[in-house]
């Protein structure tokens, strides 16, 4: 990012210094309280006491004069001092309570004059918005010309990377142009310290910065005999702490175990025929086992990892929805399966020339939407994870008892979700853990919709002493290669789990392991939250961990 800080010409230096001085003067304007020798709260107390004390004294004295028929204009030395004290304290209190209004008015006036001055000296009369107040980026004369051309519409913002050949420089110029066009500052949005080359053509278009999300760790999670420290990117207080408590309970009880039931990604194009009979003929053709080998060869040509597993057809009149499922190695696999489906559609045109392909996706897949087909058939990795939590662990770590957990799970996660008409939502907060791990490890956050499908089961065993808990998640859509997994931060989190990149010995094993870690973490999160609710700790814990006690006005 050194290119962003190339020394500009002298004129640019003078302008930058001038802007900096104006910004410093506006942000550090003196306040009346700065000149007080005592702390503000002590000074306020003194003047409040003085005001009410002298006011009471003067009213008392004037009442005595009225009763004794003494002229009011005849005052003693003490009364003169009291009058001056009353006036002084009144002026102070008026200034104290009016200081926000007065200073905001002065500040607004100075900012208006600042904006007006820049508007007059703007390089292009086409700019109608006020310039940004963010002076954190200093442009050279060449970059300044490019910024102006973007503002004027001469240079497309989306073409900066290809024209400049420098993704970081393009992001800075786009950011500067955006601020001038909108008159809004992006000063709090980080720009430097990010590899913009790594997202070109893969993760995000037209970047102007990046968002910082804190990453916490929960664990160790003892799963299938191995320990994992789970990274979670979240802005919700108490989430990591709660999941960590669940991991502790699982660890103390001997760990959890998991099974991957199925590994398949799906894509379902929609095609149309002139008649429903003709659409049915395609359905029968695709579902005939005799044709599967031929279709598999066509499909599998798209990738050395893609392997067709099955084709399921549904009809709506003369429209056919073809749901292809396949394994995709360690990639999440949406692009891979789409490419294979396109190969099959091209092949089918030979036998069904009257087939009209309406769309490569007909929502029967179903991607990033709650759908019963994913809840029933599964999509991505279908995982079940279970653990037996000992009675003493339930009491000492989770602060509740087995019978209370079993009853709460039945009434909340099962019956309550049924009353609500839930689709795959028979759990307490699976999406919380799934989203946090997805963001930390570079998964597609939107696929949290179907990946959070989960049913949590609890049962008392061993004569009611111990708790058997399980989570069944049919649609965990994860990958360890491609997409956001190759970014530095997300790659580091995958490395922490030991699933970074593709497995050379057993393709697909890393992504399957990541799916089981997600399920194990959900198990821990479900166990802890349900225990907090059963023990009546939910509100208190959120008041402790999810509410800041900092004075935001002082921080700003």
In the residue annotation, 21 being an active-site residue is answered as: no
Catalytic residue chosen out of the listed positions 19, 368, 399, 468: 368
In the residue annotation, 542 being an active-site residue is answered as: yes
Cis amide prior to 141 (ω within 30 degrees): no
Please calculate the CA angle 57-61-65 and round it to the nearest 5 degrees.
170
pLDDT, tens digit, 9 for 90 and up, residues 311-360: 999 999 999 999 999 999 999 999 999 999 999 999 999 999 999 999 99
- With a cut of 80, say whether residue 425 has pLDDT above it: yes
pLDDT at 48: 79
Mapped to the 3 state alphabet, what secondary structure does 14-64 carry?
Answer: HHHHHHHHHHHHHHCCCCHHHHCCCCHHHHHHHHHHHHHHHHHHHHHHHHH
Listed in order, strand segments (DSSP E) in 110-162 are none
pLDDT at 127: 38
Catalytic residue chosen out of the listed positions 19, 65, 339, 542: 542
Mean pLDDT of 452-469: 97
Element (H, E) at 551: none
Q: Work out the mean pLDDT of the chain and round it to a whole number.
A: 86
Mean pLDDT of 407-423: 97
pLDDT at 353: 96
CB neighbour burial string for 260-278, b if at least 16 within 10 angstroms, e if fewer = bebbbbbbbbbbbbeeeee
pLDDT at 428: 97
- With a cut of 90, say whether residue 533 has pLDDT above it: yes
In the residue annotation, 205 being an active-site residue is answered as: no
- With a cut of 80, say whether residue 543 has pLDDT above it: no
- With a cut of 60, say whether residue 412 has pLDDT above it: yes
Rounded Cα–Cα distance for residues 176 and 195 (Å)? 18
pLDDT, tens digit, 9 for 90 and up, residues 143-174: 999 999 999 999 999 999 999 999 999 999 99
pLDDT, tens digit, 9 for 90 and up, residues 435-453: 999 999 999 999 999 999 9
Task: Please list the residues that pair with 321 across neighbouring strands.
Answer: 270, 314
Looking at the chain, the whole-number percentage of residues with pLDDT higher than 70 is: 82
Q: Which range has the worst mean pLDDT, 40-54, 113-127, 177-191?
A: 113-127
Give the pairing of strands 270-272 and 215-223. unpaired
Are 501 and 364 in contact by the 8 Å Cβ rule? The answer is no
Catalytic residue chosen out of the listed positions 118, 134, 444, 459: 444
Match domain 213-261+380-544 to its CATH number in 3.40.1260.10, 3.20.20.70, 1.20.1440.20, 3.90.770.10.
3.90.770.10
pTM of the predicted protein model: 0.74
Catalytic residue chosen out of the listed positions 134, 152, 192, 236: 236
Rounded Cα–Cα distance for residues 279 and 282 (Å)? 5
pLDDT band at 31; cut points 50, 70, 90: very low
pLDDT at 36: 55
Are 239 and 217 in contact by the 8 Å Cβ rule? The answer is no
pLDDT, tens digit, 9 for 90 and up, residues 500-530: 999 999 999 999 999 999 999 999 999 999 9
CATH class of this structure's domain 268-357: alpha beta
In the residue annotation, 368 being an active-site residue is answered as: yes
């Amino acid at each position: 990012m050194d290119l962003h800080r190339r020394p500009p010409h002298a004129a640019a230096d003078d302008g930058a210094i001038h802007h900096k001085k104006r910004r410093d003067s506006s942000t550090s304007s003196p306040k009346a309280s700065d000149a007080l020798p005592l702390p503000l709260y002590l000074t306020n107390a003194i003047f409040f006491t003085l005001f009410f004390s002298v006011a009471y004294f003067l009213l008392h004295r004037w009442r005595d004069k009225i009763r004794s028929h003494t002229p009011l204009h005849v005052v003693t030395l003490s009364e003169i001092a009291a009058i001056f004290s009353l006036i002084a304290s009144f002026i102070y209190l008026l200034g104290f309570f009016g200081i926000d209004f007065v200073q905001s008015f002065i500040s607004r006036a100075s900012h208006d004059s600042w904006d007006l001055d820049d508007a007059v000296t703007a390089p292009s009369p086409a700019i109608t918005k006020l310039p940004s107040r963010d002076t954190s980026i200093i442009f050279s004369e060449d970059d300044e010309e490019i910024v102006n051309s973007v503002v004027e519409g001469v240079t497309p913002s989306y073409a900066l990377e290809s024209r400049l050949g420098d993704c970081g420089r393009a992001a800075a110029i786009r950011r500067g142009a955006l601020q001038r066009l909108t008159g809004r500052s992006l000063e709090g949005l980080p720009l430097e310290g990010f590899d913009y080359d790594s997202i070109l053509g893969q993760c995000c278009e037209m970047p102007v910065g990046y968002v910082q999300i804190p990453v916490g760790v929960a664990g160790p999670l003892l799963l299938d005999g191995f320990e994992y420290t789970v990274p979670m990117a979240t802005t919700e207080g108490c989430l990591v702490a709660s999941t960590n408590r669940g991991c502790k309970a699982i660890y103390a009880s001997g760990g959890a175990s998991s099974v991957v039931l199925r590994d398949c990604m799906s894509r379902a194009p929609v095609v149309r025929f002139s008649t429903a009979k003709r659409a049915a003929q395609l359905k029968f053709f695709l579902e005939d086992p005799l044709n599967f080998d031929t279709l598999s060869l066509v499909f599998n040509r798209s990738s050395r990892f893609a392997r067709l597993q099955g084709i399921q057809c549904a009809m709506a009149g003369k429209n056919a929805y073809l749901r292809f499922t396949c394994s995709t190695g360690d990639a999440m696999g949406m692009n891979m399966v789409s490419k294979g489906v396109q190969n099959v559609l091209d092949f089918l045109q030979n036998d069904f020339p009257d087939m009209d392909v309406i769309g490569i996706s007909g929502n029967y897949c179903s991607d990033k939407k709650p759908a019963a087909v994913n809840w029933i058939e599964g999509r991505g990795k279908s995982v079940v994870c279970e653990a037996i939590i000992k009675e003493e662990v339930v009491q000492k770590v989770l602060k509740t008892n087995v019978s209370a957990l079993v009853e709460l799970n039945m009434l909340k996660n099962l019956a309550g979700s049924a009353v609500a008409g839930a689709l795959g939502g028979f759990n307490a907060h699976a999406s919380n853990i799934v989203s946090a791990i997805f963001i930390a490890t570079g998964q597609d956050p939107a696929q949290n919709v179907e990946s959070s499908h989960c049913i949590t089961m609890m049962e008392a065993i061993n004569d009611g002493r111990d708790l058997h808990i399980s989570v069944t998640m049919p649609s965990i859509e994860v990958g360890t290669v491609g997409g956001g997994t190759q970014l530095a931060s997300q790659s580091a989190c995958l490395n922490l789990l030991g699933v970074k990149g593709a497995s050379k010995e057993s393709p697909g094993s890393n992504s399957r392991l990541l799916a089981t870690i997600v399920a194990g973490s959900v198990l821990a999160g479900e166990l802890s939250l349900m225990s907090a609710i059963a023990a009546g700790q939910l509100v208190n814990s959120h008041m402790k961990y999810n509410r800041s006690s900092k004075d935001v006005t002082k921080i700003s």
